[in-house]
Amino acid sequence: MSTETVETTDENRRFRGTLRDLDTGVVARIVALDVEPAELRRLRSLGIRTGSEVQVSQHRGAGVVLAAAGGRIALGADVARRILVEAGAR
Whole-angstrom Cα distance, residue 41 to residue 47? Answer: 10
pTM above 0.85, yes or no: no
* Amino acid (1-letter code) at residue 14: R
Nearest of 29, 32, 26, 23 to residue 4 by alpha carbon: 32
> Is there a contact between 4 and 85 (Cβ–Cβ < 8 Å)?
no
Q: What is the pLDDT of residues 8-65, one digit of tens each?
A: 444 456 889 999 999 999 999 999 999 999 999 999 999 999 999 999 999 988 899 9
Residue of 6 and 40 predicted with greater confidence: 40
Confidence of residue 89 (pLDDT cuts 50, 70, 90): low
Longest dimension (CA), the chain: 39
